[in-house]
């Protein structure tokens, strides 16, 4: 499909999803002069335009206006001649005719297609999750979108007690967002510590203290067995057989990549849409995927840092058929948790007897650094409350170089203190 504009044939680029990944790919393409090469169309099933999902808790707790988290206005799309099919879900991809179909007869032909469909909250098979009509009980929701945020804020107004199920970052963010609403907030997690994938026990305790200081009740080692209520939830039953009355339940127990559309059009889908290092589908060189819907080798790389890098790789590939850009899967992740910066890389727990741990702890300021070493090479790290050394640590991890005492002391030192005073290798 070619469109003639100003005498130059333009190709059609269609992006499905306008979250962090989809919007970022388009920005990277534009930054490389992509408007000259492509006529761009986006399908976005969220009507609210492009916003920063990572700040939803601030909207929920009222410290930010919805408008403050909008990243690209509707005018931006117009100025860049992008066809934004807002509030329109892509329903079907036809690879033989190279067309994406939306509702009400919308059809966007493509030469290049990008899947950026993200993921949806996972609802575990709780007893009584659904009412007699097969609908989820009212008052039970995920926390992923602005629409979820509005629903939760509405329901919280007439709730005395709210339960958040989960112990990961998104559960903590939901609890933080709810903590200003005048209702009791209970965080219920089946694990023995918060954020057990990203934090070790000590860092988990720092975060738990901050959560409790925000007035949130934390229940660890307790799973939710079933929900109570007919049409609207009015409580839940825990694994120790105790029950807890509550009028709102926010479920944050994991994510499922949105891959149905890719599967439907015959692409290989495992956990996510299977891609190679050029982030192309294994089945179709004209289709890319990135963000939380894509899977490289056996992993989904959906963090913010990963997505920014992936968007650069795809834009380079789209703009230059001979591009050598490749995505080098990294395990580094950075985020903000309960107001603290957190960055992790690699294996955060010693795995072998010969592994060494270098640590710096400053409890009064909630600062904690831990570097896991094997034969003086960094195999993992946690930086909580002080992430200044993150770039240097990530590159030490990537290069797999042996560290001298001085280099290690530099890495473990708090950002504002002289290096050697602080290093402690156990």
Q: Which residues form the interface with ligand FAD (CB under 6 A)?
A: 16-22, 43-46, 53-54, 56-57, 89-90, 116-119, 144, 169-170, 173, 258, 261, 291-292, 302-304, 307, 333, 335-336
Q: How far apart are CA 227 and CA 238, in angstroms?
A: 9
In terms of CB distance, is 61 or 356 closer to ligand FAD? 61
Q: How far is the CB of 264 from ligand FAD (least distance, A)?
A: 10
In terms of CB distance, is 90 or 279 closer to ligand FAD? 90
> From the centroid of its chain, how far is CA 263?
22
Q: How far is the CB of 36 from ligand FAD (least distance, A)?
A: 25
Q: How far apart are CA 135 and CA 333, in angstroms?
A: 36
What secondary structure letter does DSSP report for 325? -
Q: How far is the CB of 246 from ligand FAD (least distance, A)?
A: 21
CA 279, 282, 288, 291 dihedral sign is: negative
In terms of CB distance, is 92 or 401 closer to ligand FAD? 92
Q: How far is the CB of 292 from ligand FAD (least distance, A)?
A: 4
Q: Is 254 left (phi over 0), alpha (psi -120 to 50) or beta?
A: left
In terms of CB distance, is 146 or 350 closer to ligand FAD? 146
Residue nearest ligand FAD by beta-carbon distance: 19
Strand order in the sheet with 377-384: 333-337, 340-346, 377-384, 367-374, 356-362
Q: Name the residue among 378, 364, 363, 365 with its Cα closest to residue 425.
A: 378
Q: How far is the CB of 344 from ligand FAD (least distance, A)?
A: 11
In terms of CB distance, is 156 or 413 closer to ligand FAD? 156
In terms of CB distance, is 58 or 359 closer to ligand FAD? 58
Q: How far apart are CA 309 and CA 317, in angstroms?
A: 13
Identify the three-state secondary structure at position 263.
Answer: helix
**156 and 189 Cβ atoms separated by less than 8 Å:** no
How would DSSP label each residue in 75-128? HHHHHTTEEEEET----EEETTTTEEE-STT-EEE-SEEEE---EEE-----BT
Q: Name the residue among 336, 289, 332, 331 with its Cα closest to residue 310.
A: 289
In terms of CB distance, is 43 or 397 closer to ligand FAD? 43
Q: How far is the CB of 333 from ligand FAD (least distance, A)?
A: 6
Q: How far is the CB of 166 from ligand FAD (least distance, A)?
A: 12
């Amino acid at each position: 499909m070619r469109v003639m504009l100003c005498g130059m044939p333009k190709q059609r680029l269609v992006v499905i999803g306008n979250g962090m990944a989809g919007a970022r790919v388009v920005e990277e393409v534009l930054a490389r002069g992509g408007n000259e090469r492509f006529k761009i169309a986006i399908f976005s099933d969220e009507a609210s335009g492009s916003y920063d999902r990572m700040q939803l808790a601030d909207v929920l707790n009222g410290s930010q206006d919805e408008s403050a988290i909008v990243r690209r206005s509707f005018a931006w799309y117009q100025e860049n001649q992008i066809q934004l099919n807002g509030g329109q879900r892509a329903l079907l991809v036809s690879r033989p005719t190279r067309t994406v179909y939306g509702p009400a007869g919308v059809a966007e032909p493509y030469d290049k297609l990008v899947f950026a469909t993200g993921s949806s909250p996972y609802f575990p098979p709780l007893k009584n999750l659904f009412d007699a009509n097969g609908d989820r009980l009212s008052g039970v929701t995920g926390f992923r979108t602005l629409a979820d945020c509005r629903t939760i804020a509405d329901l919280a107004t007439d709730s005395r007690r709210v339960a958040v199920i989960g112990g990961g970052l998104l559960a903590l963010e939901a609890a933080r967002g709810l903590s200003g609403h005048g209702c009791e907030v209970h965080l219920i997690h089946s694990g023995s510590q918060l954020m057990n994938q990203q934090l070790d026990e000590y860092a988990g305790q720092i975060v738990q203290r901050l959560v409790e200081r925000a007035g949130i009740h934390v229940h660890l080692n307790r799973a939710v067995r079933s929900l109570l209520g007919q049409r609207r939830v009015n409580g839940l039953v825990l694994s120790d057989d105790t029950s807890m009355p509550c009028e709102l339940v926010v479920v944050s127990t994991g994510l499922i990549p949105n891959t149905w559309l890719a599967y439907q059009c015959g692409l290989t889908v495992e956990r996510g849409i299977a891609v190679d290092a050029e982030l192309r589908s294994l089945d179709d060189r004209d289709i890319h995927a990135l963000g939380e819907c894509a899977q490289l080798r056996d992993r989904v790389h959906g963090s913010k840092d990963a997505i920014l890098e992936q968007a650069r790789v795809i834009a380079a590939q789209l703009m230059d058929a001979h591009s050598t850009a490749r995505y080098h899967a990294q395990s580094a992740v950075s985020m903000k948790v309960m107001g603290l910066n957190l960055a992790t890389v690699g294996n955060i727990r010693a795995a072998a007897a010969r592994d060494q741990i270098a640590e710096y702890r400053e409890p009064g300021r909630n600062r904690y650094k831990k570097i896991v070493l094997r034969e003086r090479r960094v195999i993992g790290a946690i930086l909580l409350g002080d992430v200044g050394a993150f770039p240097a640590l990530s590159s030490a991890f990537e290069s797999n170089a042996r560290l001298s005492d001085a280099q290690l002391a530099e890495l473990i030192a708090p950002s504002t203190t002289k290096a050697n005073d602080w290093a402690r290798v156990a």
